[in-house]
Amino acid sequence: MNDNNPNRRLGIGTWLSSGSPVVAELASECGFDWLLLDMEHGCLTDAGLLASLQSAKRHNLNLIVRVGSFEPAVIARVLDWGASGIMLPHVSCAEQAKQCIKAMRYPPGGTRGYSGSARVFGYGLASALASREHVSPLFIPQIEDYEGVMNSEAIAAVDGVDILFVGPSDLQLALSTASEELSMPYQEALTRIAASAGRYGKQTGILVRNADDVLPLKKAGFSCLAIGSDIGFLKSGFLNAIQEGSRH
């Protein structure tokens, strides 16, 4: 498979949790480099995901789907529908990363079943797999606990891992509730993860809710940033409208 894809490095994206194909279409036209469609905590159903993938169709836009857990059948279906890559939550060791990559790839490098009539191949109208033009999907493991931080270098070393992505809420919760020997300061964890990714030429990513954090994170080595979410933008807009209306 050809992995020499200039779109394998992601820049500024955003999180889509509402499950609305209209929101996905709007976000796709706003200039983001990538969109995250969240099936772990978001409102996306299988049917909603397909509609969102169909709506967000700007050329060269990367559509990443976060699955809820490691389920090869779900991963294969999401990729068949046209997702650019998979984000897997709670990856704590290299073996978990290897298992997911295997489920994402066709033989001989993996176990994913092949159908030339899938949407990813234009329902049979696009180039077939035999043309060797197929690009391996992006794989983004999420580092969300102490074990994942400590194993981040081994995870980054796995062939097929593109980006180590921090889940800030889960990682901060895990580090704050663990015993002293299984914890560390959150900022130290971020430094470790970024260093591990950089050592193997991989990107480091994170979800950013506060715009003031963007510059410090970039300086710390984070180059793949998800800025806010559709739910967050809507909530802020609604609350601002109420505040503005109450002033008059």
The residues that are catalytic are 41
The length of the chain is 248
d(CA 125, CA 143) in angstroms, rounded, equals 38
What is the distance between the alpha carbons of residues 119 and 82, in angstroms, rounded to a whole number?
6
Helix 168-177, helix 186-199: angle, nearest 10 = 120
On whether the CB atoms of residues 149 and 124 are closer than 8 A, the answer is no
Provide the sign of the torsion angle of the four alpha carbons 109, 114, 120, 126, taken in this order. Answer: positive
Among candidates 105, 191, 99, 88, which has minimal Cα distance to 141? Answer: 88
- Alpha helices by DSSP H, listed for the chain, are 21-28, 46-55, 72-80, 94-104, 146-150, 152-156, 168-177, 186-199, 214-219, 230-246
Identify the DSSP state of 186. Answer: H
C-alpha to C-alpha distance for 236 and 168, rounded to whole angstroms: 20
Which amino acid is present at 12? I
CB 110 within 8 A of CB 103: yes
Q: Provide the residue type at 236 as one letter.
A: S
